[in-house]
Amino acid sequence: MTAIFNPLTIRNTDFEWGKRTYIMGVLNVTPDSFSDGGDFNSLEMALNQAQQMVKAGADIIDIGGQSTRPGAEDVSLEEELNRVIPLINAIRKSTDVVLANIPISVDTTRSQVAEMAVKAGGDIINDISGATFDSKMLSVVAQLNVPIILMHIRGTPKTMQTLTHYQDLMGELKQFLQERIQAAIHQGISQDHIIIDPGIGFAKTVTQNLEILRNLTQLRSLNCPLLVGTSRKSFIGHLLNQPDPKQRVWGTAATCVAAIANSADILRVHDVKEIVEASRVADAIYRETVEKN
């Protein structure tokens, strides 16, 4: 696999697409996320978890203040800001130099949160709606001049699992992402600042999630780096007959290796240490650039 995109530099990190797989550590500061809700509710616990993920090899920390699990209820703008902004501030003020300079992604669908998060020290906006929930999101991100991750979804987290009927799964997914890429470019976002995510687990059945993993390379023609988020998701629990999300790490690792084999650039994961190790070996197998270096 060779890189077809220009490199992206965020703080002290050069993202050289195609050279290796980058790991995004999930840090949900929510009481109700599906696998780690309530685990990092205090600022001290969340900051400690960010530090542990950086030590384990995370390239990006993805901070979320609004659960996107199936059936999740909305939280108020004020509540989301109160969860996210203090943590960004604390990371940026950390005496740990590596942590203080880690690229921070903010998992939000609200342009107000995006704007305040970037002003506080955030670097990337990760919008699970593909910037469809907030009509101002793309123009705000363009003004902020930061990268955006555009994900495929149908409906909302509350309704999405009732919207899983597709005539042509990969075709419809690709069309949605193509339209969102064009909308982002039209609003002034550079093509080099757009990352796409097929939205595994969002309005998808177990079978459809597996189909996406097998066919990720079809999304290469959209000319954007590809993020894949399978971590601890219910389809893995279904395959393993494992109801506890925290016990799905090796099932997650298998999906991550499959994603790397099919040209994923970024993996969004909870279990950073294990997936860093799995991805290093998978990179050595599937990426010739690793061997050359």
Cα gap 172→69, rounded to integer Å? 22
Active site amino acids: 233, 268
Q: Is 285 helix (H, G, I), strand (E, B) or coil?
A: helix
Cα gap 178→221, rounded to integer Å? 10
H helical segments located in the chain: 43-55, 77-92, 97-100, 111-120, 137-144, 169-186, 206-214, 234-240, 249-261, 272-286, 288-292
The angle formed by the CA atoms of residues 284, 289 and 293, to the nearest 5 degrees, is 90
Q: What is the DSSP string of 155-196?
A: S-TTTGGG----SSHHHHHHHHHHHHHHHHHHTT--GGGEEE
Structure token digits, residue 136 = 């101002």
Residue 82: count of CB within 10 angstroms of its CB: 13
Residue 247: count of CB within 10 angstroms of its CB: 14
Q: Could you tell me which residues come within 8 angstroms of residue 278 by beta carbon, excluding any fewer than 6 positions away?
A: 253, 256, 257
